[in-house]
Amino acid sequence: MNLVEIKDFGFSYPESSRKVLEHVNLNIKEGTLNVIMGRSGCGKSTLLRQLKSVLAPAGEKEGKILYRNIPLEDTDHRTQSQEIGFVMQNPDNQIVTDKVWHELAFGLESLGYDNATIRLRVAEMASYFGIQKWFYKNVSELSGGQKQLLNLASVMAMHPSLLILDEPTSQLDPIAASDFLETVKKINRDIGTTVLLTEHRLQDIIPYADRVFVMDEGTLFLEGTPREIGTKLKEQHHGMFLSMPVPMQIYAGTESALTCPLTVSEGRQWIREYIKEKGIKKEEIQQANQRLEKQGEKNENETAGFFGHLKRQKETTPPAIQMKDVWFRYEKDSPDVIQDLSLEVKKGEFYALVGGNGTGKSTTLSLLGRVHQPYSGRIYLDGKDLRSFSDRELYCGYLGVMPQNPQSIFLKKTVLEDLYSVIGGKKEKPSSEYPISMKKEKAIEGIVSLTHLEGLLNRHPYDLSGGEQQRLALAKVLLLRPKILLMDEPTKGMDAEYKEELGSILKKLQSHGMTIFMISHDVEFVAEYADTTGLFFEGNVVTSKKTRDFFAGNNFYTTAANRMARGLFPEAVTGKDVVSCLTNPS
């Protein structure tokens, strides 16, 4: 039985001639787990919000949405509130009370349930989701992963028939994200709740989906099982194939008659069967590992220079970023968030910082951006004390900061106006960054092309998808022509296809001498593009190594490719590494 039926549905925002959704036809069977995937801005979130009337954006609609064979607009508010649960991207946007226990009870109270029922359901949810240890805590004390789990538990306390999740792990670290998606699978498997979600981090969920739907430019163009979708995307050479699980991408890079693996465990078994199938010898496996080690040494040597100078000369140059014995707390009597932190980032280096939610990574970036100041220790940029920079000297042409929440730097009503605001508006004025000889139109045109904002220039920045907002924020920061670029979760909300383009952009900027310091939960992206990776834990960097050494040395905090292949190719940390070892072993 179909729980939801979407028939020839279309939607456009007010005063917009372009349809965000067009001729969408989609059926969701009761009790199934369904995934909607697609590029940033293809209409996924807009479609999900149409399935709950109170969240549906204003605009022109056409077609029908049926819930249990009844038009959604005819389904009363209480039924929708109780039977259709919705978990948003940002956990803070959904929490409405100050205590964990009250948040669990809030929805039930709003529907008028009696105290006995509320107590029973709250106890049930706290036990099921393992919330007992932080049941009486203030919500403000929770980590990002705990907040999102609380949102999920609060929704499930209503006993919904349909659970909708809009990129619920976009702000979670890899381990918290994996745990959260495991809980979603458990809800579907054990309770039978129908699940519909969008997610760019598909590694942990798509292998278990009953049905996968692929959207592009506001319409649904593919549906099927995970393996069927992977096969069709590969045959069509579609960019969304990059979003499929790493084991599937590795399989696609080889020629094999074996069954395509979807999970890491299936991938491990497939590799061993592939080696038997192709007759790859132990000596060839050893040669492949040696080649990876040499490649790592070559990459290190290539990044050792700065603007063509010799490594010896670089050692006499001060680091681009240096933190010495830094301590910081938000309030006088609060615990230290940053504890005796010392960190160096060389000029022209791409340094990535990874770690769990709430460990202090974003706080570190705020200290580097001079949003906050440490109460002890020193921070230097190119050997100069951060405190000695004037605001204009620091932020105009020297330090670029891309925050975790891109909306915090949007100022105008359209994307185009927001871009021009960075360089003083449309009027041509001489300045050190944009002299009169340089046409501002050319600067805007170049950055729009680089970040693929064409077609979005007349949209309000807040109306963009999460990935599109990230691209706009990057464009604004790059217009300032920084020497040092600080980025907090730059791939959040981005599809895999644009992540690849972003990586190319960052490496191009790096080749022109820019130093990049990035905080990220996206270990696959870090493994592909960063030169050095550090692990942050309890306010400090516990280890900092060349990226290949970092991921090859970790058992848990590593890439899917490394977990899949480490038994035979311990130095392989990306899908491309594994494919190279398997297809060119000698």
pLDDT per residue over 341-383, tens digit each? 999 999 999 999 998 877 889 899 999 999 999 999 999 999 9
Q: Is residue 472 part of a domain?
A: no
User: Residue 313 falls within a domain, yes or no?
Assistant: no
What digits encode the pLDDT tens for the residues 210-231? 999 999 888 999 999 999 998 8
Q: Is residue 492 part of a domain?
A: yes
- C-alpha 184/C-alpha 196 separation (Å) is 10
Do 585 and 543 share a structural domain? Answer: no
- Residue 24 Ramachandran class (φ > 0 left, ψ -120 to 50 alpha, else beta): beta
Q: What is the C-alpha to C-alpha distance for residues 388 and 365, in angstroms, rounded to an integer?
A: 18
| CATH code (residue 179) | 3.40.50.300
User: Is 110 part of a structural domain of the chain?
Assistant: yes
**Same structural domain, 227 and 249:** no
Say if CB 193 and CB 162 are below 8 A apart: yes
- Whether residues 357 and 209 share a domain: the answer is no
Same domain, 59 and 169: yes
Give the DSSP per-residue string, 326-345. Answer: EEE-SSTTSPPSEEEEEEEE
CA dihedral sign, ordered 136, 137, 140, 144: negative
Round to whole Å and give the CA distance between 454 and 408.
22
Query: Which helix H or strand E contains 116, and what residues bound it?
Result: helix 115-128
| Domain range enclosing 115 | 2-235
Instruction: Please tell me the distance from the alpha carbon of residue 546 to that of residue 117, in angstroms, as a whole number.
Output: 55
In a shared domain, residues 136 and 52: yes
Q: Does a structural domain hold residue 252?
A: yes
Which of 87, 97, 5 lies closest to 49, judged by CA?
A: 87
Residue 444 and residue 340 share a domain:
no
Is residue 375 situated within a structural domain?
yes
Which of residues 235, 262, 292 is at a domain's end?
A: 235
Same domain, 436 and 516: no
| Interval 372-431: pLDDT, tens | 999 999 999 999 999 999 998 898 889 999 988 888 889 988 999 999 988 877 655 545
- Same domain, yes or no: 43 and 142: yes
Whether residues 228 and 372 share a domain: the answer is no
Answer whether residue 474 is part of any domain: no
Same domain membership, residue 211 and residue 151: yes
The whole-model pTM stands at: 0.83
Residue 436: per-residue pLDDT: 43
Same-domain check for residues 47 and 73: yes
Q: At what angle do helices 115-128 and 144-156 cross, to 10 degrees?
A: 140
219 Cβ contact list (under 8 Å, min separation 6): 21, 22, 23, 24
Return the DSSP state at 213. Answer: E
Is 287 inside a domain boundary?
yes
Average pLDDT of the residues in 148-163 = 93
What's the number of domains the chain is made of?
A: 4
Last residue of a domain, one of 235, 256, 289: 235
Same domain, 262 and 216: no
Q: Of 211, 235, 259, which one is at a domain's C-terminal end?
A: 235
